[in-house]
Chains A and B, each alone.
Chain A
Amino acid sequence: MNLYQNFLAYFLHCSSCFLHWSKRNWETPVFTVLALAPLFHSAFAGGLGGQITSVFIICIAALGLNVMVGFTGLLHLGIASFFGLGGLFLAILTVPMNPLEIGFLAAVLVSVGITAMIGTLLGSPTLRLRGDYLAIVTLGFGEVVRVLFLNLENVTGGTQGLGPVPPPGFGVFITGIDLGREFVVDSRWFYYLSLIMLFFAVMFVRILEKSSLGRAWIAVREEPLAAATIGISVAKVRLSAFTIAAAIAGLAGCLSVASIGTTGDPNAFGFNRSVAILCAVIIGGLGSVPGTLVGVTILFGFDIVVIPLVDAWMQRLQSQVFEINLFALGSWRLALVGIALIVVMRFRPVGLIPSRRFAAELQEAQQ
């Protein structure tokens, strides 16, 4: 694997691509708009900024899942458990009640490392499994992690979660401004932090996709036997996908816990969250980075940003205009998401923005 030697070269190459405007380059406009948006609207400093931050964070986790499901073709139904593990380790390393209390950056690095290791440990005995069996094992792992979170109260805090997690830059003063306090007061700090991390995650996944490792992933996905005959170690390549997916999801978990300030209810890391992220990746388009981001934005943007807005609006309308109890959108949100999933899959079975390879295959099949 000459990935590691070429990594810097790829990064430079991609950065130069990034600076040059081209039709294929969607990142420049998207990230520019996202970076400039808070300057023009004050709502980003409050609740809306926090909601969009959590969408960014889920985007990062979904990119990790995309490495596994989209590039390598391994069905993973427990990604949220790695998200939760990353956050838990960050909390263990930083909360004041534990003796460690190391700095934010070090804690993130350590917890991402541990999460990646756990991913590798889960991956190594299960490489022999065929597709759907692997899916069930990852599902089971996710549930085991959730139950451990709930039951090991003295380590994880049980249903209460572990907290308070100090914000990044806690205790750091720059020209008299307490950075930690700024992070708590103004949600734009976390907005930018997660936007930058999302940008790096997108870059990282793109670089990987173009590297020899990424091509090996796709070869293994298409036909493991053929990949093995040209000298690709199928087991190693799959294991690397496991590790990288776990690491990226762990990073997302760290950001989430840091922005909320506590690990929260472990049930949020269960099967439902994993499945929702998987659905976002698939309706966006498997193996497609912009597709993943679009899928998460639609699915989680609807759930996190739109539903509260619409509900608040409905309530205002109800109290002002009607006496009768209006049909509350919130109680049907699950069904709305479900119908959206069914409809998208019915009319765009390869996803909203399919990767070029899948799109080409579909055209071939239709001709």
Chain B
Amino acid sequence: MDVASFLQQCGIGITSGVFLGLMAVGYTLVYGTVGLIHFAHGDVVMLGGCLALAILSFLVPLPVAPVTGCLAVILAALCSGLFCGCLNVCIDRFVYRPLRDAPPLSPLVSAIGVSFVLMNVGLVWIGPTDRAFPEIFLASTRSVGGISFLMADLLVLAISVPPLLCLYILLRQTRFGRSLRSIAAITRATARSGEAGKLIGTTFFISGFLGGVASVAAGIHATTINYQMGHQMGLYALTAAVLGGIGSVPGAIVGGLVVGLLRAISVAVLGPRWAMASVFLVLIVFLAFRPQGIYGKSKTRAGQR
């Protein structure tokens, strides 16, 4: 593989890494506040993709001018973000909140149950086969210095990066961000107080919103969606969150980029059918040497269990 095609694969990897990072942030935020792996997140994202598909096929029935197309995509991303955010808040309110002081594995089973229900809804909504996502740029490419890249991938970056910047500002500069960063220290008992409840709700909304944006980005990147894409992407995003150190937001983004790059490179070198195995192998080997992930805090020896 020569340098140019390597860089091209890196470009693809970074693009997919950015939206995987968006999803991974969703996992990591929820884990950081309620200490739960939100297994249904991938399927929430999948439903967001279904909604975006419906909106885009309504708005962009025929090939249109790129500018209009881009606006439609941004509108779809906002809508599906709001939808996923509200869905996530509802899931938290009706499924997870009653289980705040149940044994730790019970919410996990509920999360799996929610995931099954959502996957079934997606199956009934868009059917069992792949559905084509409306293509705005019809696979047009630009080439800079011998490296060609898809215009669609630029669009993916354009809709995924701003939410990440907003999240950064939100977490660093606002009172909400400070409370959110401190809530990791809050024990399960205090998570039932009103203030913490609101904070948890907001966290679920943000994680859902980012997931909704990620679903549109993923649809544009892959050009198709299906009802199992949430499961697939969810596994990758969860890997990214764990690789970065679950609970850490920068870790999730870095993890997403690493997983995206790994996947793109292994697709290019070994072929697509080995992509998932190589990503997980790297994860297992990495965790064997650094059990807390890239950004995770190392525990003391006694607590390391």
Contacts and interface: CB of A to CB of B under 8 A. Distances in A.
Given A225-B302, A271-B235, A279-B112, A133 B242 contact: yes
Contact of B274 (A139, A151, A365): A151
Contact of B37 (A132, A137, A144): A132
Contact of B120 (A133, A137, A335, A346): A335
Query: Could you say which interface size class chain A belongs to?
Result: 35 or more
Interface string A151-182: 10000000000000000000000000000000
Contacts of B106: 282, 345, 349-350
A151 B272 CA distance: 11
A6 to B, nearest CB: 28
A132 B36 CA distance: 9
A339 interface: yes
Interface string A265-302: 00000010001001100110010000000000000000
Nearest to A124: B288
A34 interface: no
B103 A338 contact: no
A332 interface: yes
Contacts of B121: 335
A143 B235 contact: yes
A136 B299 contact: no
Given A143-B280, A335-B116, A346-B110, A286 B105 contact: yes
B222 interface: no
B6 to A, nearest CB: 24
B105 A338 contact: no
B20 to A, nearest CB: 15
B256 interface: no
Interface centre among A147, A271, A334 (most CB of B within 10 A): A334
Interface centre among B112, B231, B281, B305 (most CB of A within 10 A): B305
A143 B129 CA distance: 22
Given A143-B276, A358-B103, A334 B123 contact: yes
A69 interface: yes
A278 B103 CA distance: 15
Nearest to B247: A132
B109 interface: yes
A102 B110 CA distance: 45
B186 interface: no
Nearest to A145: B277
A90 interface: no
Contacts of B115: 338
A282 B111 CA distance: 13
B185 interface: no
B134 to A, nearest CB: 27
B239 interface: yes
B37 A135 contact: yes
Given A126-B288, A334-B116, A334-B120, A341 B109 contact: yes
Interface in B15-50: 31, 37
B111 to A, nearest CB: 9
Nearest to A125: B288
A271 B288 CA distance: 21
B287 interface: yes
Nearest to A234: B305
Contacts of B95: 342, 346
B4 interface: no
A56 interface: no
A278 B119 CA distance: 18
Interface in B74-129: 95, 98-99, 101-103, 105-110, 112-121, 123-124
A130 B120 contact: no
Nearest to A238: B305
A1 interface: no
Contact of A139 (B101, B235, B246, B281): B235
B225 interface: no
Nearest to B242: A136
Contacts of A125: 284, 288
A282 B293 CA distance: 28
Contact of A340 (B105, B113, B280, B284): B113
B140 interface: no
A139 B101 CA distance: 26
Contacts of A147: 273-274, 276-277
B304 interface: yes
A129 B114 CA distance: 27
Contacts of B235: 139, 143, 271
A136 B117 contact: no
A113 interface: no
Nearest to B105: A282
5 contacts: A133-B291, A225-B302, A331-B124, A338-B114, A339-B117
Interface of B: 31, 37, 95, 98-99, 101-103, 105-110, 112-121, 123-124, 231, 235, 238-239, 242, 246, 273-274, 276-277, 280-281, 283-284, 287-288, 291-293, 299, 302, 304-305
Given A75-B108, A140-B280, 9 more contacts: A132-B242, A144-B276, A151-B273, A286-B105, A331-B124, A335-B117, A338-B112, A341-B109, A346-B99
